[in-house]
């Protein structure tokens, strides 16, 4: 085999059934999602109701519906590696950094809802799968979100068979239009204990209000205020004091598809930059002939492969039942920082067109900047990893 015959597109090989799933998702994105998305405004985060319904009908028919949720409740039952495959491919559209596949594949409820009672699973989890009920998860507060065991001030006071929740949550995605949410509040009044408990709360419960927080992208998170919000004991998710463990489980596993999604965005950006370089004439030769451009492309591909393998490893270990706190943190930091660098290079390769709203690059550039903060800032993950290494 000579160098021209070499396949440079692959790396670690996925199981055959996940290769088939990846190819199915890719075709669905190209043939169905992108044509609809291209008709929407540049910074749109939603599709017209009729077009979204048509996409969702097609996704259901193709077996691409709520794929991370348990099969017994109507989901696809994918493990973490399968979720990674879906997340990367579904991110390859303009909305992909925050609305994978423009919402065509349904709304997977937060995985921790399946730790609840059968009534909670049916009322909230199944309602999300079957009826498209939207949700939010409220952890972060103004005092910080990186260490919820210490920074959560929101309190839930028990009175008989009910709890009264008071406090304010910050940076909560999707809270305004949600139907329900999972709220983490402190039930232990002692200064030393975690004492955090999780609650499933209907969005329309009296005392809940939302206020938009403007950020670098057009899709805003919210401040959510709980003013004497009264919920029944049956709204508690798990036992009192188990909220921090529930929170950690959700955060750790969520970081892996999160990492895969930004890799998908960056890979799509690199494809645009490569196509541009191969047809753009500059100073009597193609842009792709310039060594500076070649090295930017080569560095981007190498870094994306490394980030992808770390993400696959985290997912694989998660499916084996291993503790993946460290793996997930490494994948999240490497993927988000790599994706930011790659998209920055792609903007540079396209020059003025890289900044134009005619292309998706400037939108991805803004959105990927947030990804280095969401799901825990890079610095916090580095701090935790360093502590573990120095302690061992």
Task: Write down the pLDDT at residue 163.
Answer: 97
Q: Is 375 a catalytic site residue?
A: yes
Task: Write down the pLDDT at residue 337.
Answer: 98
Which residue, among 111, 84, 147, has the nearest Cα to 317 in the 3D structure? Answer: 84
> Could you give the CA distance from residue 364 to residue 342 in angstroms, rounded to a whole number?
11
Question: Could you tell me the CA-to-CA distances from 53 to 26, 90, 238, 250 in Å, in that order?
Answer: 20, 17, 35, 29
H helices of 121-242, in order, are 127-131, 148-151
DSSP 373: T
Q: One digit per residue, pLDDT tens: the chain, 392 residues?
A: 333 333 444 456 899 999 999 999 999 999 999 999 999 999 999 999 999 999 999 999 999 999 999 999 999 999 999 999 999 999 999 999 999 999 999 999 999 999 999 999 999 999 999 988 999 999 999 876 566 667 799 999 999 999 999 999 999 999 999 999 999 999 976 544 468 999 999 999 999 999 999 999 989 999 999 999 999 999 999 999 999 888 888 899 999 999 999 999 999 999 999 999 999 988 889 999 999 999 999 999 999 999 999 999 999 999 999 999 999 999 999 999 999 999 999 999 999 999 999 999 999 999 999 999 999 999 999 999 999 899 97
User: Is residue 5, in this structure, part of any structural domain at all?
Assistant: no
**Tokens read off for 373:** 């903060």
117 and 25 in a single domain? The answer is yes
270 and 346 in a single domain? The answer is yes
Task: Write down the pLDDT at residue 191.
Answer: 47
| 329-358 as b/e: b if 16+ CB within 10 A | bbbbbbbbbbbbbbbbbbbebbeeebeeee
Last residue of a domain, which of 131, 165, 186?
Answer: 131
255 and 168 in a single domain? The answer is no
Task: Write down the pLDDT at residue 189.
Answer: 64
267 and 293 in a single domain? The answer is yes
Which residue, among 34, 60, 146, 55, has the nearest Cα to 372 in the 3D structure? Answer: 146
H helices of 68-153, in order, are 80-90, 118-120, 127-131, 148-151
Task: Write down the pLDDT at residue 249.
Answer: 85
121 and 168 in a single domain? The answer is no
Task: Write down the pLDDT at residue 7.
Answer: 42
> Could you give the CA distance from residue 74 to residue 35 in angstroms, rounded to a whole number?
28
User: Is residue 193, in this structure, part of any structural domain at all?
Assistant: yes
Give the dihedral sign, CA 65/265/331/245. negative
Beta strand ranges found along the chain (DSSP E): 135-138, 155-159, 162-172, 180-186, 196-202, 208-212, 222-232, 236-237, 281-282, 285-286
> Could you give the CA distance from residue 265 to residue 368 in angstroms, rounded to a whole number?
9
Q: State the CATH number of the domain containing residue 87.
A: 1.10.540.10
Last residue of a domain, which of 237, 263, 284?
Answer: 237
> Could you give the CA distance from residue 184 to residue 118 in angstroms, rounded to a whole number?
20
User: Is residue 1, in this structure, part of any structural domain at all?
Assistant: no
**Tokens read off for 243:** 């909220």
Range of the domain at 205: 135-237
Please tell me the total count of domains within the chain. 3
User: Is residue 224, in this structure, part of any structural domain at all?
Assistant: yes
Q: State the CATH number of the domain containing residue 332.
A: 1.20.140.10
166 and 178 in a single domain? The answer is yes
Task: Write down the pLDDT at residue 145.
Answer: 57
273 and 229 in a single domain? The answer is no
Sequence-distant contacts of 175-178: CB under 8 A, at least 24 apart: 175/136, 175/138, 175/203, 175/210, 175/221, 175/222, 175/224, 176/210, 176/212, 176/222, 177/134, 178/134, 178/135, 178/136, 178/203
Last residue of a domain, which of 131, 160, 185?
Answer: 131
Q: State the CATH number of the domain containing residue 173.
A: 2.40.110.10
**Tokens read off for 256:** 């892996």
208 and 345 in a single domain? The answer is no
User: Is residue 2, in this structure, part of any structural domain at all?
Assistant: no
User: Is residue 189, in this structure, part of any structural domain at all?
Assistant: yes
Q: Residue 192: count other Cβ atoms within 10 Å of its Cβ.
A: 6
35 and 113 in a single domain? The answer is yes
User: Is residue 105, in this structure, part of any structural domain at all?
Assistant: yes
User: Is residue 347, in this structure, part of any structural domain at all?
Assistant: yes
28 and 120 in a single domain? The answer is yes
Contacts of 13 (CB under 8 A, 6+ apart): 19
Q: Residue 159: count other Cβ atoms within 10 Å of its Cβ.
A: 8
272 and 315 in a single domain? The answer is yes
Task: Write down the pLDDT at residue 147.
Answer: 66
Which residue, among 116, 121, 199, has the nearest Cα to 163 in the 3D structure? Answer: 199
Catalytic residue among 89, 303, 367, 375: 375
162 and 48 in a single domain? The answer is no
Residue 223 phi/psi, 5-degree rounding, is: -90, 130
Task: Write down the pLDDT at residue 356.
Answer: 96
């Amino acid at each position: 085999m000579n160098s021209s015959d070499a396949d440079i597109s692959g790396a670690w090989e996925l199981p055959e059934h996940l290769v088939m799933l990846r190819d199915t998702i890719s075709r669905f994105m190209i043939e169905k999602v992108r044509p609809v998305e291209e008709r929407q405004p540049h910074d749109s985060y939603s599709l017209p109701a009729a077009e979204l319904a048509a996409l969702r009908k097609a996704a259901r028919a193709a077996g691409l519906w709520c794929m991370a949720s348990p099969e017994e409740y109507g989901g696809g039952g994918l493990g973490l590696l399968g979720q990674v495959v879906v997340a990367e491919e579904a991110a390859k559209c303009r909305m992909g950094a925050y609305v994978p596949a423009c919402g065509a594949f349904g709304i997977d409820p937060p995985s921790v809802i399946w730790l609840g009672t059968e009534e909670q699973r049916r009322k909230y989890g199944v309602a999300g799968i079957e009826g498209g009920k939207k949700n939010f998860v409220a952890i972060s507060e103004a005092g910080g979100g990186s260490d919820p065991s210490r920074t959560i001030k929101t309190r839930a006071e028990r009175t008989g068979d009910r709890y009264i929740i008071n406090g304010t949550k910050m940076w909560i995605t999707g809270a305004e239009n949600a139907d329900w949410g999972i709220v983490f509040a402190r039930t232990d009044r002692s200064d030393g204990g975690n004492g955090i408990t999780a609650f499933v709360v209907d969005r329309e419960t009296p005392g809940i209000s939302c206020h938009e927080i403007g950020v670098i992208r057009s899709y805003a998170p919210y401040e959510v205020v709980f003013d004497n919000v009264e919920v029944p004991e049956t709204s508690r998710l798990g036992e009192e004091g188990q909220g921090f463990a529930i929170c950690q489980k959700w955060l750790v596993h969520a970081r892996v598809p999160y990492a895969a999604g930004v890799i998908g965005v960056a890979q799509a950006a690199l494809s645009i930059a490569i196509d541009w370089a191969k047809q753009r004439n500059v100073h009597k030769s193609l842009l792709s002939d310039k060594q500076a451009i070649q090295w930017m492309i080569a560095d981007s591909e190498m870094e994306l492969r490394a980030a992808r393998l770390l993400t696959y490893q985290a997912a694989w270990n998660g499916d084996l039942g291993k503790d993946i706190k460290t793996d997930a943190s490494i994948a999240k930091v490497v993927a988000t920082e790599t994706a930011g660098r790659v998209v920055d290079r792609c903007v540079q390769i396209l020059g003025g067109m890289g900044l134009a709203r005619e292309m998706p690059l400037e939108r991805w550039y803004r959105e990927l900047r947030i990804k280095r903060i969401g799901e825990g800032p890079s610095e916090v993950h580095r701090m935790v990893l360093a502590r573990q290494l120095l302690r061992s």
